[in-house]
Structure 1
Amino acid sequence: MMPLTKDTPKPLIKVHDKTLIEHSIDTLKNAGITDVIINIAYLGEQIQAYLGNGTKFGINIKYSIEQNALETAGGIIQALPLLGNAPFIVINSDILCDYDLSTLALPDNSLAHLLLIDNPEHNLNGDFSLTGNKITLPNTQTYTFSGVGFYHPDFFQSHLHNDGKLPLSALFKEAINNRQLTGEYYLGYWQDIGTPERLESVNNNPKIS
């Protein structure tokens, strides 16, 4: 997202006069979720200053501060002491999605449940396939991981010793091999704000508020 993120962290970039992270907060609040943990690294102090403890947004915020960016799984593992023992939702702060998060659930014998979408232009080969609700490695019909997932803390159990960078992809492969990764296909609105061009596109779309 350079040069837009040179002095501003991506979650504070605005779509229709509202920061990306506020769009995520609205999605969580609409699902009745008000206790939120935010992982911060690059220019994270700006996010803390903007959101504070969440009171003005009607939520309760705690922060997990990464001294160096840990990637998604590494960041979640660091934040686990703040998350407790119950399953929790993770949502990327740079996506727009109108999925009702209150409907997310972990099927039996699943440690993680992912929201999958049609492959966007920037990921035409996709990430996974679906057989029933079981996620598999890519085959004929593929889908893209949306950045929205529901996780049991045990999903990260074998990596609790990790104190550095760790991508989710490594854990997904383990869970696929153990048939403990499930998912569902979502046909509704979703957009990854990963480039200035995509940001311009959504800001020019009057249907998005």
Structure 2
Amino acid sequence: MKAMILAAGLGSRMRPLTDHCPKPLLPVAGKPLIEHHLERLAAAGFREVVINVSYRGEQIVAALGDGQRFGLRLSFSREPTPLETAGGLRHALALLGDAPFLLLNGDVWSDIDLAQPTLTAGDLAHLAMVATTDFHPRGDFHLDADGRLHAEGEPRLVYAGVGVIHPQLVADLPDGEAAKLAPLLLAAMRAGRVGGWHHRGDWVDVGTPQRLADLESRLRRA
């Protein structure tokens, strides 16, 4: 299975840190955040990783190279302007191929077992979910006792930014146009084609300078 890291965003919530540096290259515990992801992917057995880039994307390409030092083969999907999540996936399909792939948001940190997720036959996605947070108390989706995700229902959990995606989920989108992933996931859930699991371990949305600083402090103490 290939993996894809989403790394094309503007990093607006991280300003001023991202005024001159793309968010994936912001340092955490002595190395860029995206390098933590690459090391964990390699340890989980992945060998081919696609990374979409846009804002200051050539800095990311220059910093990571071909991935050999991580034991990986890296490919970069370049977006002249950010295409949002689903648009970025659609644009990268030529590099990802026709098989399901692991999707990893570039701005999360967790101890999720990246080798764990698998896609049930007929499903379009299988997503890691975590408990609601103070900055997202309403949550995203409902996970039932059978491991199926629903647009409606209680209690609700937050999508952790890790999951397995089938290319068919985005294949019908026009290439090169911005599109969000959430509407496609909601439609797939209503068709009964999305599964998930509740991750109860460590997870951080590294979305603001304060949360980045908190993660840095915690990892330095570990």
**TM-score calculated relative to the size of structure 2:** 0.90
Out of 69, 73, 78, the position equivalent to 1:65 is 78
Deviations 1:163-184, CA, capped at 9 Å, x for gaps: 3110101111110121111111
CA shift, 1:207, in A, is 6.6
2:171 pairs with 1:157: yes
Aligned counterparts of 1:150 and 1:168: Cα–Cα separation in 2 = 13
Aligned counterparts of 1:47 and 1:100: Cα–Cα separation in 2 = 25
Asked whether the equivalents of residues 29 and 220 of structure 2 are also in contact (C-alpha less than 8 Å), the reply is no
Aligned match of 1:18: 31
Aligned counterparts of 1:144 and 1:16: Cα–Cα separation in 2 = 26
CA shift, 1:206, in A, is 4.0
Asked whether the equivalents of residues 42 and 70 of structure 2 are also in contact (C-alpha less than 8 Å), the reply is no
Aligned counterparts of 1:186 and 1:73: Cα–Cα separation in 2 = 23
Aligned counterparts of 1:98 and 1:18: Cα–Cα separation in 2 = 17
Amino acid of the residue matched to residue 154 of structure 1? Q
Amino acid of the residue matched to residue 76 of structure 1? L
Structure 2 gap ranges (5+): 1-13
**TM-score calculated relative to the size of structure 1:** 0.95
Aligned match of 1:82: 95
Q: Which runs of 4+ in 1 moved over 2 A?
A: 206-209
Aligned counterparts of 1:185 and 1:113: Cα–Cα separation in 2 = 11
Aligned counterparts of 1:167 and 1:85: Cα–Cα separation in 2 = 20
Task: Name the SS of the counterpart of 1:121 in structure 2.
Answer: coil
Asked whether the equivalents of residues 27 and 98 of structure 1 are also in contact (C-alpha less than 8 Å), the reply is no
CA shift, 1:158, in A, is 2.9
CA shift, 1:121, in A, is 1.5
Identity of aligned residues (%): 38
Task: Name the SS of the counterpart of 1:26 in structure 2.
Answer: helix
Structure 1 gap ranges (5+): none
CA shift, 1:108, in A, is 2.9
Amino acid of the residue matched to residue 157 of structure 2? Y
Q: Cα 1:150–1:78, aligned 2, differ >3 Å: closer, same or farther?
A: same
Asked whether the equivalents of residues 86 and 152 of structure 1 are also in contact (C-alpha less than 8 Å), the reply is yes
Out of 21, 31, 34, the position equivalent to 1:8 is 21
CA shift, 1:92, in A, is 0.8
Aligned match of 2:155: 141
The total of aligned residue pairs comes to: 208
Aligned counterparts of 2:91 and 2:172: Cα–Cα separation in 1 = 14
CA shift, 1:138, in A, is 3.7
CA RMSD of superposed structures (Å): 1.3
Deviations 1:151-208, CA, capped at 9 Å, x for gaps: 111122332x243110101111110121111111000111011001001111111477
Asked whether the equivalents of residues 135 and 183 of structure 1 are also in contact (C-alpha less than 8 Å), the reply is yes
Asked whether the equivalents of residues 147 and 196 of structure 2 are also in contact (C-alpha less than 8 Å), the reply is yes
CA shift, 1:58, in A, is 1.6
Amino acid of the residue matched to residue 23 of structure 1? H
Task: Name the SS of the counterpart of 1:149 in structure 2.
Answer: strand
Aligned counterparts of 1:174 and 1:86: Cα–Cα separation in 2 = 21
Aligned match of 1:94: 107
Task: Name the SS of the counterpart of 2:69 in structure 1.
Answer: helix
Aligned counterparts of 1:92 and 1:75: Cα–Cα separation in 2 = 12
